[in-house]
Amino acid sequence: MLKPIKYNDGLDHYRLSPKQLRKEFDRRQADAVFAFQLRNPVHNGHALLMNDTRRRLLEMGYKNPILLLHPLGGFTKADDVPLDVRMEQHSKVVFINFFYIACDDIDLIIHSVMIHILTP
């Protein structure tokens, strides 16, 4: 059995396996999960999209949709905001309920991947 990779950067508690996520969604009795993946801090446009998605899921009859806020945690562009700063911002935004979504309805995890950005 492989053990999870530990980065020892103070953010490992945000790195959950699919099995751990499923367990958390089951614990919260989520009947829908909608994910938003981003590589930079949340801004108003992101919040509007997340709120609209939640509203639509509720209109479709779901009772407990959970937002999976999924910041990318691998290598990003050199001028991107560092991961620890982004995670601090994400956790503060979730805590102050910026999304108008109850904190219990949001999971915040890191997705550790390398981003390849192709530009002309």
Give me the tens of pLDDT residue by residue for the chain, a chain 120 residues long: 678 778 787 877 777 788 888 888 888 888 998 888 877 777 888 888 888 888 999 999 999 888 888 777 766 677 888 888 888 877 776 654 444 444 455 556 555 554 445 555
Please name each of the domains of the chain with its CATH number: 13-108 (3.40.50.620)
User: Is residue 93 within 8 Å of 51, Cβ to Cβ?
Assistant: no
pTM: 0.72
Closest-CA residue to 96 (of 47, 35, 26): 47
In terms of Cα–Cα distance, which of 48, 32, 21, 46 is closest to 108? 21
